[in-house]
Amino acid sequence: MQNLILLAGLALGLGACSNVETSNLRIVGEYTGVINGVSQDIICNNKPSYVTYSFDFSGDLGSWTSSLEGVTTGDVVNTQNYTVVGNPPVNGTVTAQYDVKANTAPRSKGGSLAAQGIIVVPKANVIGYTRVKITAYDFGGFPTFTRRSNSLPIVDNC
């Protein structure tokens, strides 16, 4: 019985030793649109685009996963796994890019498009919001933090 308690304590102690922290997760879009009079990064739903994200880390970052997540729905797509190789620094910034195919970004609100007349000057019609979700792991494979970025509006026609 004492050995079992000792092993359980050791496992808890090792799990608590994880020393990876992440901060400042941010996302930027390839395109810019004017929404409610403010120019901001957007994702174009009707054509391929990319978003770039970055985050700061400190500690022994061994790997991370990232995905695109609908802000309200929680729908997750395009999960990618990254592994740190070699002898990485204990502090740094990670930058990665998503290629978002047309009509694939998860959204925060549902809806459908109705038939519309031809508009000479398209107006940015926001159909939802998406963000990047990351989970960082230490070199032992223990998850340390899950973070979500700021959200980007998804515009139906760019």
Say how far apart CA 41 and CA 57 lie, in whole Å.
24
CB 3 within 8 A of CB 43: no
Counting the structural domains of the chain, the total is: 1
- Residue 32 maps to a domain: yes
**Does residue 151 sit within a domain?**
yes
Residue 7 covered by a domain: no
Which pTM value belongs to this model?
0.73
**pLDDT tens column, 110-137:** 444 444 444 444 567 899 999 999 999 9
Per-residue pLDDT of the chain (158 residues; tens, 9 = 90+): 443 333 333 333 344 455 788 889 999 999 998 888 889 999 998 999 889 999 999 988 999 999 999 998 888 888 999 998 877 778 889 999 988 888 877 755 444 444 444 444 456 789 999 999 999 998 889 998 899 999 999 998 88
Domain of 71: which CATH number? 2.60.40.2550
Task: Please give the Cα distance from 8 to 25 (Å, whole number).
Answer: 34
How many beta carbons lie within 10 A of that of residue 36, not counting itself? Answer: 8
> Could you write out the DSSP letters of every residue in 54-69?
EEEEES-EEEEEEEEE
Which of helix, strand or coil describes residue 52? strand
Range of the domain at 29: 16-110+119-155
